[in-house]
A = this chain, B = another copy of it.
Amino acid sequence: MPDSESMKSRHILPNYRIAVVGSGAVGCYYGGKLAQYGRDVHFLMRSDLEHVRKRGLKILSKQGDFHLQKVNAYATTEEIGPVDLVLIAMKATANEALDTLIPPLLKADGSTMLMTLQNGLGNEEYLAERFGAENVLGGLCFVCLNRIEPGVIHHIGHGKIEMGEYSGLPLPRTWEIQGDFKRCGVVCSVSPDLGLAHWRKLVWNVPFNGLAIAAGGIDVGQILADEDLLYLTRGLMHEVIAIAKKLGHEIPVSFAEKNIENTKPMGAYLPSSVIDYLEGREVEIEPIWGEPLRIGFNAGAEVGRLEMLYHLIRRLVVRRQRDED
């Protein structure tokens, strides 16, 4: 690992500008932590803009509540201008908006880093195709958050970010960002293999987000308490692990059981996709189930369970949207 003091002088820190694009629970929480520690954070906001400009941002957390009185909140990325690091925390279903939101944030020297904090597969690829793979990073968030009212985020638990370079092994900048996030109280690790990290996260997300929606909107405790859904949870986890293996990502089979054990203390936790589903918001179907299904199918893996789950969820969400229209 490089010496962090020398990196600091050679690299982006300490005065780097950060933009947060998509200021929902994830964007506000992590951007808020960085701003709390004096980092130069600029939030692109939509519905909460006026509220946050007037009253700031509140994070309620067992680790300590905090209130940012003055927040740099903007309606457009043109007002923010070029930055060193963009944290992308929009719903992945709205990725098309990035085509116009990102360019005003890019520095002329091409050094702006784009770190997607979004769920599932396909987001790094989306950015890489449009803005160049070399500046894309992924940050996998293991965190339970809820936006409970405008400008107020409830941090329920966890909070780790597992970050990595889209195009390969970690670079000095990767460690540098990790170090700075840690100084701001964000638990954070660097992954040498972002693809593997994504598939490990999917081992949990595919069954728990998926079955909770397919069963009509239930919590993880209800999944664990139902012998049929618990059986399907294991089947889906093993299927995801086998797809990952086909792609060259080794995940031990015991990781499934470990995930189930780790879920027990969560109790009646509702995964974010389930809340989106229940509250009539868009659900990130493609990144969490569609992309893994297509990638697994193309790799020649067994994908029957994932196929059933994807289409049952897709039907429920499509039908709900049709009912609303």
A173 within 8 A of B: no
Q: Which residues on B sit within 8 Å (CB–CB) of A314?
A: 228
A114 within 8 A of B: no
Determine if A235 and B315 form an interchain contact, defined as CB atoms under 8 angstroms apart.
Answer: no
Residue in B226, B303, B312, B315 whose CB lies within 8 Å of A304: B303
A253 within 8 A of B: no
Determine if A315 and B239 form an interchain contact, defined as CB atoms under 8 angstroms apart.
Answer: no
Q: Closest residue of chain B to A211, judged by CB?
A: B312
A212 within 8 A of B: no
Q: Which residues on B sit within 8 Å (CB–CB) of A307?
A: 231-232, 235, 304-305
A302 within 8 A of B: yes
A182 within 8 A of B: no
A121 to chain B, nearest CB (A): 20
A311 within 8 A of B: yes
Residue in B302, B309, B315, B318 whose CB lies within 8 Å of A308: B309
Determine if A312 and B235 form an interchain contact, defined as CB atoms under 8 angstroms apart.
Answer: no
Determine if A311 and B229 form an interchain contact, defined as CB atoms under 8 angstroms apart.
Answer: yes
Determine if B228 and A304 form an interchain contact, defined as CB atoms under 8 angstroms apart.
Answer: no
A214 within 8 A of B: yes
A245 to chain B, nearest CB (A): 16
Determine if A232 and B305 form an interchain contact, defined as CB atoms under 8 angstroms apart.
Answer: no
Cα–Cα, bound, A308→B307 (Å): 10
A299 within 8 A of B: no
Determine if A308 and B308 form an interchain contact, defined as CB atoms under 8 angstroms apart.
Answer: yes
Determine if A239 and B304 form an interchain contact, defined as CB atoms under 8 angstroms apart.
Answer: yes
Residue in B214, B303, B311 whose CB lies within 8 Å of A312: B214
Determine if B318 and A228 form an interchain contact, defined as CB atoms under 8 angstroms apart.
Answer: yes
Q: Identify which of residues 276-325 in chain A touch chain B, using a CB-to-CB cut-off of 8 Å.
A: 302-309, 311-312, 314-315, 318
Q: Which residues on B sit within 8 Å (CB–CB) of A232?
A: 307-308, 311-312
What are 27 A-B contacts with C-beta separation under 8 Å? Answer: A214-B312, A215-B312, A215-B315, A226-B315, A228-B312, A228-B315, A228-B318, A229-B315, A231-B307, A231-B311, A232-B307, A232-B311, A232-B312, A235-B304, A235-B308, A239-B304, A302-B302, A302-B304, A303-B304, A304-B304, A304-B307, A304-B308, A305-B307, A305-B308, A308-B308, A308-B309, A312-B312
Q: Which 10 A-B pairs have the closest CB atoms?
A: A304-B304, A308-B308, A228-B311, A228-B315, A304-B305, A232-B311, A228-B314, A305-B308, A302-B302, A231-B311
